[in-house]
Each structure stands twice: as structure tokens, then as C-alpha cells.
Structure 1
């Protein structure tokens, strides 16, 4: 067990490495970036594969020798002359050969495969997490996850096929050639002709397997993405009575997956049929040639026996080799498809000399900011304004006015097409994204929670917080009491209970209060509130509003609101329309102006801005 412990921990898959925001976009350099830590183990594994193949060829050679010895000796002469030799061979078969094969298997199964997969997943996940939010919004979460998980597993399978099949095969064919040449050089002719035809069959087959495998892998990712999308939005499926519609759509996707899989298997079937024919030719030609030579007293009966055994062994081995090569190229297809996600350059990178944002006062200055998402209109148009340190500014406007775009720009979830945003005189494009967002706390209108415990979700705001700070934040968010009453299906209670995917086990108000507790615990100097109390009932909202007022003291605050009653006490109100600032001032000033904000105030029904 100590040997296995050593092999399993020979390479640490989570060790620090030289990361690149622009991974190799060609398959072999890409794979090499994952295999570098395993080069020594792989070299040793090549040696043990050659030794294993050599042991197999030796056994066939010795079978022929044993037949010759028996045919030329009486029993007494045989045991008298060759007993020691037989004992040595028995020791080799029972001790040395199993030891070589065990080391060979342990290297690939214990030292390489699981660690290659773990290293690949860890690095791929780390790389994907660096992508901007917009990158995730343009693809299925299920497809991204499938590629992050399956691509590294395919890397491990590929290493196994190379080490366990291809290396062994090369060594075995070399040994077989030496054995036949030693028996009689003419026996190399049928083996060489067969090898040429076998390579031709492989080239024909594998040229078609790789694109078919990639298409099948892509179809599998699309299928998984569709299923995850349906399950993640099961409430919508049920509320709109679209179970049958989802089933019908899934049928088409599943059928597409079936067709690509069948196309791949047709190639495998053709390969198998050709292989069976070739192997029949191999057996007949090698054994027939050996029999012909024995008949003419050119070789011994032992050569016939070893040649026949070798032909039968190659016959059984070639099917395994073909399956291994098919798996090899199938793995290449999975890796190639996975690279479409994992090998994409980071779409929004920190500049080379980016430093951390060190906030002093929290003043925000926006200068000529424009962003249209690559289009001619929409988004933001030439915004310029300043939010003083500790000032509380509300942003209002109709749907599509640019409020969310402005918030995303402040958080640098994208790089603006024109203009700049500075915090305390520092352009946010010149600091690290991590440090920027570490200084901003945000409560969204739709609060998403991680499928973890209540404790983990709140501590996401400040992982090193004490238990006392955790509970204090929950109490301020009016969440502590209902948290204590929670219990999940596994029996976890209170702060240890699981919230379900995206927090589905909690009500909207409960999720919002957990999200508030998380931001309270983070205690960032800049606070963004996007309808922070929208999911709360009136009684709880009044309590939370008092907490928010307390939170806002000494912070720079930006509040996005549709209910104007929640922002009338802000220092200033900024009105957006079609991406432009149309009005700016206090609540009273804007009412006196009798413009768009005043119109909103007069027309709002139930406290919401009319369309």
C-alpha cells in the first residue's frame, strides 16, 4: 500500500503552475501543457510497457523451445538436463513477470490517469472561472460543465491508450519480428505484408473516426446542455404546461445524438470486418509458411508451435489494438471539442501592470462612457457624472434605459467601448478585476445562491469571518430566526442546511435576506443596490430598509430602483433614458423640474415606474 500511496502522490495535480490567459489553440501543444508534470512517470511507463511486451514474446519463444526440447529428449534426459532452466522460467513466470505487469498497471492506473484527469479539471475550471459573465451567458451551463469534466477525463483515457496499447504494440511487434527472424528470415515476409495491410486499414478507419468522434462528443454536450437547461427552469416548464413540448424538442436533440453515434459505430463495424479478414490471412500465412518449412526440414516443430502461438496472439491482440486506437481518436475528438470551451482565451484580461485597487474615499467619476454591445444603438451613450465619497445616488429609468449596463460597467463585467470610470482617481481598467469587485458590495433584484449550506452562502461575503460576525450579519438582515427553523432532506439544520440549486428550497424573500446578510458581512466601501427589497413583504421590507440605511452610512451608494418610494431620500437621483442622462438632482429638485422623473412619480401605480 505504501508503494501505491507513493505512486498516487508522485505528482500533485493542484501544484502552482505558469498560467496563461491565452492557452494553446492546437491540440498537441494544448495536451502537452497538461502532460508536462508527468514526463518522468510516462518515460518509466514506456520502459515497463516494453518490458511487459518482451515478457510476452519470451513466453511464446520458450514455448517453441520447450516443444523442441521435448521432441529431442527422453523424459529422463529432459529433466536431467533442463530442470534448472525450467525452475528459472517458472520463477520468471510466477514472480518477475507479474511484478513487471503490476508496476506497469500501477503507473498508468494509479500514478497517471487519475492525476491527469484531476489536474485537467482543476486547471480548466480555474481558467473558465476567469471568463467574463457575458461569456457564460452565450452558452449552456450544462455544456460548459460537460466539457470541463469530460475533456480532462479524455486526456487520462488517451494516456492510457498510448501507454497501455500503442507502446506495448510497438514493443510486441518488434519482439515478434526478432522471434520470427531468429526462427527463419522468410517468416518475416507474411508478417511484414500483414503489417502493411493492417496500417492501411488503420489509416482508412482512423481518418474517419476522429471527425465522427468529435461530432458525437459535440452532440453529447448539446444534449446535456439542453437537459440541464430544462431541469434548471423546471418551474417555467410546469407553469406553462410545456412538459410535452420539452419532450418533443428533446426527441429531436436525442435523435441527432443517436445519428452521430451510429455514424461513428458504422466506421468501427467496417474496421472490425476488415480486421477479421486480415487476421485470417495472417494466421494462414504464418502457420502455413512454418508448416511448409518444417515439411522440407528447414525448421523444427518448435518453430511451427511458436509461430502458430504468435499468430494467434497477434490475432487476439489486434482487436484490442483497434479498439484502443478507436478509443484514442474518440478521446481526441472529446478533447478537440472540449477545447472550444477550455482553450478559449480569456475575453477580458487584466492589463500586464494591473495592481490592486486601494480605496481611500470611494469617489466615482464617469467620463464620456459609451457602450452599445457592438451595435450602433442601445446600451449607454456618452455618460459623464461624478458620485462623491459617501454620496447616495439613485439611478432610475424605464426598462432598457441602460441601468443594468451602467452597473455592469462599474463592476467591469465588460470593457466599455468608449470613455472611462475612475474610483478615487484610479481608472478601473488598470486595476485587477478581483480587487475592484472586492471593494464593491451588491444586492441584486434576483438573488442567486450557491447549492451549499446557508453558512457557506453567507460566508461567501467574507470567508474568514467569525461565527459571531456571521450571526450578526444574519440578524441585521432579519434572517437569523428563519434560518434556525430550516432543515433539509439530509437532516442538516439551521446554518448547515442546504439551500438547493440557486436557492430553490427557500422563498424569494428568504433568498433575498440571505443575499443581504452576505453583503452586510462583506462590508465593502461601495454599495450597489438593485431593487434590494423587491422580494420582501411590506413588514420585512420596513425592517430591512432600516438595516440598509444603517449599511449605507459612510459608504458610496448606487441604488437602481423601479419603486420610486424606496429612493426618494437619496442625495441625488440620476434619470436615464435610451442610455443618456436626461435629468439629475435631488427628489425635490426633480419634482420641481417637472420633467421625466416627475412624470414617473405622478404615473407610478403601486410604487412602480410606468412604461
Structure 2
């Protein structure tokens, strides 16, 4: 199998960073359908805050009137008015949650669905570069954070800023000096907020990226648990995980220190303002410039403002987390998709299965080396219904060549045609209906055996006689009768990645999946490598019956697989150096004889191992 280019982590964009507002504005297309309800939620929250601000005004009237005069009836009515305002405030808080929770989950759903759809459309080269843990943390953690921010963070941040602004203006109602003291004392909070954005923003991004790396480590360890146990490397994996977890812990502590610092100022400055205002208020009252009722109302208003002021720090940090989550999500949305449907697609009504490689060159786009292409001018033609074996030493480019007909990768130069049509001129859906694949590394999904095998036959009605007939035929060809012995037969749910099955069983199901698709062209990348010799012989006999009407390109790692083919193509250092029948190449090509002899040695080792087992 050809070694692919090593994966690399995505690099930060070189574009100038967006402001927090501009970054979060990218969520607007997802939020637009539910924007009216989000606005209603914000209005409800604002009304609740204004009701809270009106209570000190009522209190002032009560102190000046009924309480000073001792009129019990008016005191009762004043208390009822305050109770009514409190109940109305509670109702508005409930309405705020009613309006925003549903729309926020809808945005979360649309974001998650769009993100997953984007992952499906992006080319294989993207997935070569990105760690699965990074994608998983974006899909789950970051999108969930945006849902919470949209339902809670943004609404309360806007409402509390407005509340503080309105409340501060009302403080000037009683005396300009008290209002000015409160305003001047609170002014340093703006500088603190600016410093906080600079510091916390970078820490938030660092923390979320490190969480993605940690998720990757967990995923790799879980998938590779058999290897770690077999080699006794569990402690080594734990040490690596511990180092990453400790790094994340230090970053989280730095975030906590930054939050603690802004909370310190958010709590301290209002307390200083309260103390200064109390002193000034007592002096103004003694000088007759301020009434006791006004002083009480002033402090009642300042008390109402305390929570909105203190919450701004938390809500601001929440907003910066949401901004970082948005950046991380849209890094995936912004990835360039080079493998897309053509603007004016062509169609093949009756595919014959003629597959031709014309002057094909290929190199991985992120490969920085100056070496020659991995595929360096491939010219190869497969006639309709022909089975072509592809042989070559390790690293010659066999696996890379098999990825091109279905456009898992696009050629760097030249073209691949199907029935005379460049595969890039067909829609991906049509191309992949005509070209089926089975890989050496058999990947199965956590679904039933039936669903795994009929994965490529969405045209069949589930449970229909035709679907059952195709299912059984595919199982017979792949010699996968073992599925009938599973607890629920073909309806048995396969565990994650099919790891509950043996390697040979997984390969047989993957082969059955490729056969069930009934493509015009079948590309097989050594799909029998995990089978024992007897089972392989049975599968090959059945495949001969299937392949007589199907064009097949088969990567051969065993001499017996070569025998399946009508012709053999010899791949040497990225070039086709010989094409002919097995006997012709044995007679004419020294390199072919060397390749076949190495395959025979490997097969002899496998036979010996089977005997020993």
C-alpha cells in the first residue's frame, strides 16, 4: 500500500483577525429564521429589567408619602404595587426563556447538521490533514456553547448593558453629584474590559484547541486499545494523555485567573461607588440638598444595578468563548472544497465500464518536496468487462491510483475517463453510482449487517424482495454466510467500526457491500488480504462469476489474486512499465518476476502461519 502524505494540523489564517462583533455576525444566516423570537426574548428581558428599575421609583413615592404620613392604607397599596411589579418582572423572565430556548436549539440543530454535511462534502485530503478529535470538539462542544450563548449570553449581555446605561441616567435624577460619583467610579471598568478581551480571547482559543487535541488522544487510544494492551503501552499512553490534560488544566487556570481579575474589579468598584455615594448622600441630606426618601431610592436603584454590572464580566467572557467557537466552526466551513460537481455535468445513460487513465500525474497538494509525482504519467486502458490486476512493490503508487476513478482525489495532471467522459465532468453522485470500491482496511458502521451491505443502494426499498435478493447474492459472493449465525442474523447491529468481528469477517462484509452496489467499474484495493487461503479461493471463484460483466481494477498482493485478472498492469515507481497477461509478463519482464516472487514468499509465510495456528 502506498504511504500517503503525513497529516498536518490546520494552520491559522493569514487574514487579519475579525472583531468579535464581525466574527459573531457570521452566525446571522443560521439565526435569521428565528430572529423574531430571539428579539422577543430580548424585549421580554429588557422589560423585566425596566420593571426592576421602576421599583425604586415607587419606593421613593412610598417613603415620601404613605410612610412619612403614617397612612396604612396607602402603604398597603404601595406594597401591592411593588408586588405587582415583581410578579410582572418574573413573568417577563419566564417569557424570555420561552421565546429564546426553542430558537437557540433550532440554530444548534442547523449548525450541527450543516457542519456534518460540510464534513461529508469536503475531500479526503481535508480529512488527511485534520485530527478527528478537533472536528469532534467543534461539532459537539463548540456548537453547544453557541446554543447556550444565543439563548442566554447575548440576550442578557445586551439587556444588562442597556439596563446599566438607563439606571445610571436615572441616578442623576436625584442629584447630579451622586450620579457623577457613580459614573466616574465605574469608568475604569471599560479599560478592564478592553484588557480582558485581549487576554481572555487568546486563552479561550488556546483552551478549545487543546480540548480538541485531548479528544483526539482519547479517540486514538480507544480505537487502538488492542495494540496498547498487546504491547503493554497503556502507561505510556496515560503519560501522554496526562501531559496534554495538564497543559489544558494550566490554560483553564489562566482563564480562571483572568475571570477572577475582572470579577475583582466588577465587585470592588461598585462597592467603592456605594461607599463614596453614601458619604456624599449623607452630606447632601444634612445640607438639605437631598431628601431621605431620595437617598433611599438612590441606593435601591444602585442595588438593582449591581447584578447587571457584576454579570457583564461573566457575559463578556461567555461572548469571547462564543466568538472563539464561531471562529473554529467556520474554519471548517471556509475550507476550500476542490472536489465538487461540474457547472455543466454530463451523464452516462448506459455505462459500459470502459476506464482509461490518460497521462495521469498525481501528488498530494500539501507535499512540499521537490521529488517527482507519486504517479508520473500513467497511461492505462481497461476494456468494458475486463478485470485488470495492478501489481507493484510497496510504495509504487497502487493505492493512490485506485483513489482516482471515484475522485477521492483529483489528478494533478492528465485525466481519468469513464466511457470516454472525464470523471470530473460527472456529478459525484452519478460517478459513485458507476464506480464502486472495496478497501483493504474494511470500515464498517454501527448499523445492522443489512444496512452496511446495502449502503450504496439507496434506490432499493428496505425489505423489498429485490433488496433481499441483492443482499443474499452479495453475501454469497463474499462467502459471508457467517452473518446467519449472528444473534439477529443480517439484522444484528455491528459494534463501532465492526471491531467485534474478525479482520476476515470485516473484509468479507466490505466486499459484499461493493458487490451489492453493482457498479459498472469495481475498484478492489486488496480486499482479500485478511482471508485464509481456503476462504480466499471460494471468494475468488464467486468473484469470477460477478466480474465477467463488470470492469474491475484489482490491487493484487497475492499471486492467487493475479489469477483472477484478464490482464496485469505492472506499476513501478509511479509508472506503468508493462501490461499483458500473467504468462506474458512472466516471460518478458524481469521486474514482474521479482514482484511475483516477493508475493509468493509473502503468501508462503501466511500459509505457514495458518498451519501453526
Q: TM-score, normalised by structure 1?
A: 0.88
Q: Indicate whether 1:169 and 2:164 are aligned.
A: no
Q: Which runs of 5+ in 1 are unaligned?
A: 1-23, 488-492
Where does residue 207 of structure 1 map in the other structure?
198
Where does residue 251 of structure 1 map in the other structure?
242
Counterpart CA distance in 2 for 1:549 and 1:36 is 57
Q: Indicate whether 1:74 and 2:70 are aligned.
A: yes
Q: Indicate whether 1:43 and 2:30 are aligned.
A: no
Q: Indicate whether 1:282 and 2:273 are aligned.
A: yes
Where does residue 406 of structure 1 map in the other structure?
401
Where does residue 100 of structure 1 map in the other structure?
92
Q: Indicate whether 1:440 and 2:435 are aligned.
A: yes
Please tell me whether the aligned partners of residues 49 and 163 of structure 1 are also in contact (alpha carbons under 8 angstroms): no
Counterpart CA distance in 2 for 1:579 and 1:567 is 19
Q: Which runs of 5+ in 2 are unaligned?
A: 1-15, 606-613
Counterpart CA distance in 2 for 1:450 and 1:60 is 63
Counterpart CA distance in 1 for 2:500 and 2:586 is 43
Q: 1:451 to 1:25 in 2, by over 3 A?
A: farther
Task: Determine which of 101, 122, 129 is the counterpart of 1:131.
Answer: 122
Task: Determine which of 302, 316, 331 is the counterpart of 1:325.
Answer: 316
Where does residue 483 of structure 2 map in the other structure?
483
Please tell me whether the aligned partners of residues 52 and 168 of structure 1 are also in contact (alpha carbons under 8 angstroms): no
Q: 1:510 to 1:171 in 2, by over 3 A?
A: same
Q: 1:377 to 1:523 in 2, by over 3 A?
A: same
Residue 183 of structure 1 aligns to a residue in which SS? coil
Where does residue 111 of structure 1 map in the other structure?
102
Please tell me whether the aligned partners of residues 161 and 312 of structure 2 are also in contact (alpha carbons under 8 angstroms): no
Deviations 1:145-173 (A, max 9, x none): 11122222232233245443212212312
Where does residue 489 of structure 2 map in the other structure?
494
Q: 1:347 to 1:253 in 2, by over 3 A?
A: farther
Task: Determine which of 52, 58, 62 is the counterpart of 2:58.
Answer: 62
Q: 1:522 to 1:447 in 2, by over 3 A?
A: same
- Count matched residues: 577
Residue 410 of structure 1 aligns to a residue in which SS? coil
Deviations 1:289-347 (A, max 9, x none): 33333222333322222222222333343332211111211222233234333432224
Q: In the TM superposition, what is the alpha-carbon distance from 1:535 to its structure 2 partner?
A: 1.7
Structure 1: which 4+ aligned runs deviate by more than 6 Å?
Answer: none
Residue 182 of structure 1 aligns to a residue in which SS? coil
Q: TM-score, normalised by structure 2?
A: 0.88
Please tell me whether the aligned partners of residues 287 and 311 of structure 1 are also in contact (alpha carbons under 8 angstroms): no
Counterpart CA distance in 2 for 1:351 and 1:282 is 66
Counterpart CA distance in 1 for 2:564 and 2:489 is 36
Where does residue 571 of structure 1 map in the other structure?
566
Counterpart CA distance in 2 for 1:604 and 1:177 is 84
Residue 271 of structure 1 aligns to a residue in which SS? helix
Q: In the TM superposition, what is the alpha-carbon distance from 1:181 to its structure 2 partner?
A: 2.9
Where does residue 21 of structure 1 map in the other structure?
none
Q: In the TM superposition, what is the alpha-carbon distance from 1:177 to its structure 2 partner?
A: 3.0
Q: 1:113 to 1:230 in 2, by over 3 A?
A: same
Spell out the pairing of 1:90-489 with structure 2 (5 A cutoff). Answer: 90-94=83-87, 96-108=88-100, 110-355=101-346, 358-373=349-364, 374=367, 375=369, 376-465=371-460, 466-467=462-463, 468=465, 469-470=467-468, 471-473=471-473, 475-477=475-477, 481-487=481-487
**More off after superposition, 340-349 vs 530-539:** 340-349
Residue 582 of structure 1 aligns to a residue in which SS? strand
**More off after superposition, 247-256 vs 52-61:** 247-256
Deviations 1:418-452 (A, max 9, x none): 11111111111222223212211112112110122
Q: In the TM superposition, what is the alpha-carbon distance from 1:594 to its structure 2 partner?
A: 4.4
Residue 299 of structure 1 aligns to a residue in which SS? coil
Counterpart CA distance in 2 for 1:137 and 1:248 is 26
Counterpart CA distance in 1 for 2:382 and 2:556 is 17
Q: In the TM superposition, what is the alpha-carbon distance from 1:241 to its structure 2 partner?
A: 1.7
Q: Indicate whether 1:533 and 2:528 are aligned.
A: yes
Q: 1:357 to 1:154 in 2, by over 3 A?
A: farther
Please tell me whether the aligned partners of residues 356 and 436 of structure 1 are also in contact (alpha carbons under 8 angstroms): no
C-alpha RMSD over aligned residues: 2.5
Counterpart CA distance in 1 for 2:497 and 2:229 is 18
